[in-house]
Amino acid sequence: MSAYLILDLSIKDLARFAEYIEKIPAFIQKHGGHYIVQGVEPEIIEGDWKPERVVVIEFPSKVEAKSFWVQIF
Q: Euclidean distance between the first and final Cα of the chain, in Å?
A: 24
pLDDT surpassing 90 at residue 63: yes
pTM of the model: 0.86
Number of domains in the chain: 1
CA distance 57 to 28: 8
How many other C-beta atoms lie within 10 A of the C-beta of residue 32?
Answer: 16
- Of 72, 68, 70, 71, whose CA–CA distance to 29 is shortest? 68
Domain extent at residue 57: 3-43+50-72
pLDDT surpassing 90 at residue 73: no
pLDDT digits (tens, 9 = 90+) for 7-53: 998 889 989 989 888 999 999 999 999 999 998 888 999 999 999 99
CATH number for the domain spanning 13: value is 3.30.70.100
Structural contact between residues 55 and 7, judged by C-beta atoms closer than 8 angstroms: yes
